[in-house]
Amino acid sequence: MSEPHPAPPPPVPQQLVPGPPPPDSAPAGARRTSPLVVLVHTVTFKQARQVVPAAIPVVAAIGIDGPGVIVAMVLAVTALSLLFAGLTWWRTTYADTPSAVVVTRGLLARSVRTVPNDRIRGVEVEAPALHRLFGLVRVRIDAAAGTVTGGDEEVVVDGVPRSEGDRLRVSVLTHRRTARPVAAGGDPSALPEEPPERELARFDPRWLLYAPLVAGYLAVPLAAVGALSRLLQELPRDLRPDFDGPDLTDVRVLVLTAVAGLLLLVVGSVLGAAVVNWGFRLVRRGGSLVAVRGLLTRRHTELEVDRVRGGTLAEGLGMRLARAARVNALVTGLGAASRRGQLFPLGPRAEAVRLLGVLVDDPGPLRPHPPAARRRAVVRAVVSGLLVAAAGAWLAAGTGSWALLAAGVVLTVLGVPLGLGRYAALGHTAGPRSFSVRSGLLVREQAVLQRRAVVGWQVSQTFFQRRAGLATVVACVGAGTGGYAAVDMAADDVAAFTAAASGPWATAPGSRPAG
């Protein structure tokens, strides 16, 4: 006799299984962006850029003969860009529902991107120069959930009016704050009222004088000169300006050229910093940190305070001489953290330290690392110079050439202050609710993290570290770069530091490095 079949499980109610709408249907309340964005994308050739590489061989085969062909090509590419931009606008919709943000796009291959509100990490509203001309903005919603296509962790709604961009930002953030109480069965109307806005930092135009001390801003004029040079090379030969360059064999011309280049670097770096950071203002608005900045492209970035796990204080070599610094917030699941998490782009170190103390409790002064760490730093800094000097001595004995030996001696002598500087940057400490580690030579970075930020510890020792009684301890966190190291600390202090920085679980068997 066969056994009776078990009864089938009851069907799950349809409303309890939410999911994205089918690709060919738009969600309820779907909206389109402004039609003016078609003009923006046409002018910038956003969609048509993908076909330009394929058109280059065709143009090369046909040849260019006369201005009429060039004009026809420009008109054809512009018409193609207008067609692609129009079709893209027509097939793109977005909707901000109480449970998720849904963006539908695609002409032939349709795609639907759905991001639950409780997975949203922040919202950024930016207005590039051309968008501002048409009164439009671009809204970036950080989903903080990797995609199968490998990269984009943002939901971008490009080309909405400024008022709609502000409405979408407020709507998304309001839904995000109410998502957790509703999911837990609570009443979203019972949420407490948000406190008034409080200003945390405001950029002083005088701080732009620090820009020449930052390598990133110094690269701006160099990139501009490189782009201009490449553009001139792409012009037809009869349209290129006749410029042979200065005669650098003349000492006076060489000095004037060097001074002019230096002034170009200084002025270009200041202008670059002004374009990025002009009008910077950081406020706390309820449960969010709001940063506004930008001269040509105006950006409005909003981060959730509950996801902030600490901050970093970065000081380049030149910035340390001028007592300047930058501050970045460490936020869990934040994409493009180096740009979006920047809460103090450039300014006096005292102001940066004050703002860092607002983000996370001060754990106290840093503890220096043992003398063995100093010896190791100096040895590592001079060993390359010693090797070059040894090779130079062998070469001088055989050929009589002393150039390599002299270079080795110079490298060895310079290695001593470099090693001492690297050692001076080391430090660590642990407080009641936070801890801090610091390292770096050219860019000294101090990370201050909450105890709850740590998800694991990684302790490593090289052969030479074991002989010196040292170890490198990395705090693994789900924010920023993912790990922050205390380099060359005393191996005997590892267990006490990890326990004080995160809790007793860090002293489990096997967490102490072998002697």
Structure tokens at 412: 């060895």
| C-alpha to C-alpha distance for 9 and 487, rounded to whole angstroms | 57
Return the amino acid letter for 176: R
What does the mean pLDDT of the chain come to? Answer: 80
Confidence band, pLDDT 50/70/90 cuts, at residue 26: low
By CB atoms closer than 10 A (0-12, 13-18, 19+), residue 8 is: exposed
Answer for the pair 513, 491: CB distance below 8 angstroms, yes or no.
Answer: yes
Calculated CA dihedral for residues 224, 230, 234, 235, nearest 10 degrees: 50
* Distant-in-sequence, close-in-space partners of 432: CB < 8 Å, separation ≥ 6: 361, 363
- For 134-160, write each residue's pLDDT tens digit: 999 999 887 754 444 444 557 889 999
Q: Tokens 């642990």 identify what position?
A: 430
pTM: 0.76
DSSP 31: B
Structure tokens at 266: 């200084």
- For 69-123, write each residue's pLDDT tens digit: 667 777 877 888 888 888 888 989 999 888 888 888 877 777 888 888 877 777 8
Confidence band, pLDDT 50/70/90 cuts, at residue 10: very low
| C-alpha to C-alpha distance for 158 and 138, rounded to whole angstroms | 4
Structure tokens at 243: 């410029």
- For 190-232, write each residue's pLDDT tens digit: 444 555 788 999 999 999 999 998 888 888 777 777 777 776 6
Alpha helices in 91-243 (DSSP H): 129-133, 162-183, 215-234
Answer for the pair 112, 21: CB distance below 8 angstroms, yes or no.
Answer: yes
| C-alpha to C-alpha distance for 212 and 217, rounded to whole angstroms | 7
| C-alpha to C-alpha distance for 194 and 283, rounded to whole angstroms | 14
Secondary structure (3-state) at 383: helix
- For 301-327, write each residue's pLDDT tens digit: 888 888 889 999 999 888 998 999 999
User: Has residue 435 got a pLDDT over 90?
Assistant: yes
Answer for the pair 404, 395: CB distance below 8 angstroms, yes or no.
Answer: yes
Query: Which pLDDT value is given to residue 184?
Result: 46
Percent of the chain's residues with pLDDT above 70: 77
Query: Which pLDDT value is given to residue 285?
Result: 85
Return the amino acid letter for 455: V
User: Has residue 487 got a pLDDT over 60?
Assistant: yes
Query: Which pLDDT value is given to residue 338?
Result: 67
By CB atoms closer than 10 A (0-12, 13-18, 19+), residue 397 is: exposed
- Please compute the mean of the pLDDT values over residues 287-310 and round it to a whole number: 87
Query: Which pLDDT value is given to residue 1?
Result: 42
Helix or strand (DSSP H, E) at 254: helix 251-277
Q: Which of 196-200, 242-246, 449-453 has the lowest mean pLDDT?
A: 242-246
